[in-house]
Amino acid sequence: AQSVTQPDIHITVSEGASLELRCNYSYGATPYLFWYVQSPGQGLQLLLKYFSGDTLVQGIKGFEAEFKRSQSSFNLRKPSVHWSDAAEYFCAVGSGGYQKVTFGTGTKLQVIP
């Protein structure tokens, strides 16, 4: 069965600092990987996705993620965090076919001035 681990429940960074959110997945075949962001009381917005090809993927809002098969990881990065990035971030893995998606438990990001 596919699964996702996000080891950090909460992360606090200063505005302007760099950010890396960790994600490890478990899946038998080539995974489809996603990062979503959720603001309080809202649905999930897709930041970026990896299906194949270049292992460094660019997303919206200046985010990027790198797929590392050897480490079963798909970490999310941003070089300079803005206060508006404070939200909860979910890593997810999808299977082929109808794209059943399994989410991690999320990492809540706090940005301090």
Partner 1 sequence: DTGVSQNPRHKITKRGQNVTFRCDPISEHNRLYWYRQTLGQGPEFLTYFQNEAQLEKSRLLSDRFSAERPKGSFSTLEIQRTEQGDSAMYLCASSLAEGGNQPQHFGDGTRLSIL
User: Tokens standing for 87?
Assistant: 């939200």
- What is the smallest separation between the CB atom of 106 and partner 1, expressed in angstroms? 5
For residue 72, count other CB atoms closer than 10 A to its CB.
15
Q: Which residues make up the interface to partner 1 (CB under 8 A)? A: 4, 32, 34, 36, 41-46, 49, 51, 90, 92, 94, 96-106
Minimum distance, C-beta of residue 49 to partner 1, in the bound complex (Å)? 5
At residue 61's C-alpha, the angle toward residues 55 and 65, to 5°, is 20
Nearer to partner 1, 31 or 85 (CB): 31
Q: Which is nearer to partner 1, 15 or 102 (CB)?
A: 102
Q: Considering only CA atoms, which of 24, 13, 112 is closest in space to residue 74?
A: 24
